[in-house]
Amino acid sequence: MASPSRPRAPGLPVLLLGGFVTIFDLFVVNVAIPSIQRDLGASFAQIGFVLAGYELAFGAFLITGAGSATASAGAGFTWPAPPCSPWRPCGADWPARPPP
């Protein structure tokens, strides 16, 4: 007897994309180090401090954003709809969601 199929959540691709974006962001910053160093006239140690501060801020905002998203999702909070998207042209009326 076959069990009913249910739609699969896109969890793994979303997690992999998040990891890729994080690594790619730091890769781009590291590639730009020589240009940043030349434009600012900074020493290697000063650029190291700038990068450490950037990575610390990036990680702090990433963890804070994930924690607030998790907390708001558990409270039944839904993010507001964007004003424009490919599925909803700008200026179109968005149907109200029925109460739960």
- Residue 58: Cβ within 10 Å count: 14
What is the per-residue pLDDT across 68-90, written as a single tens digit (0 to 9) for each?
A: 777 766 666 565 655 665 555 56
pLDDT of residue 14: 77
Whether the pLDDT of residue 93 is over 60: the answer is: no
> How far apart are alpha carbons 48 and 93 in whole angstroms?
50
DSSP-derived secondary structure for 60-76: HHHHHHHHHHHHHHHTT
Nearest CA to 51 among 29, 81, 22? Answer: 29
Whether the pLDDT of residue 1 is over 60: the answer is: no
Tokens 């702090």 locate to 60
What is the per-residue pLDDT across 14-73, written as a single tens digit (0 to 9) for each?
A: 778 878 888 888 888 889 889 989 998 999 899 989 888 888 888 888 778 777 777 766
